[in-house]
Amino acid sequence: MIKHKQQLMNKRRHVDKAIDTISRAEAMIRNKSQADSDHVLSLLWHYQHEEEGVQWFTEHFSNESLDKMLMSHHSRKEQREAEQKISRHEPSV
């Protein structure tokens, strides 16, 4: 029973990640006047493989640098807002 529960929890994480990926891509498309299919596919691939990238950064950068790059000290909402600013090429404040 414990193994089955663990499998279901893993599936939930996978579904949650897929939903988050789609939501983030939709937000990027909404904020861009024109989004070509290559750009959208690139975003989707990036979001789906984000955890692998974080693992690589963890192995190659200090914790301090990693926190700054990943905005770990910011809320998820603040991270998404920064992401949207970057996608619109807005200067940071």
The DSSP secondary structure of the chain, one letter per residue, reads -HHHHHHHHHHHHHHHHHHHHHHHHHHHHHTSS---HHHHHHHHHHHHTHHHHHHHHHHHS-HHHHHHHHTTTS-HHHHHHHHHHHHTTPPP-
* Number of structural domains the chain divides into: 1
Average pLDDT, the chain: 79
Q: What is the pLDDT at residue 46?
A: 77
**Domain assignment present for 93:** no
Residue numbers of the domain that contains 77: 2-87
- pTM higher than 0.75 for the full model? no
Confidence of residue 35 (pLDDT cuts 50, 70, 90): low
User: What percent of the chain is predicted at pLDDT more than 70?
Assistant: 85
**Domain assignment present for 49:** yes
Confidence of residue 9 (pLDDT cuts 50, 70, 90): very high
**Domain assignment present for 92:** no
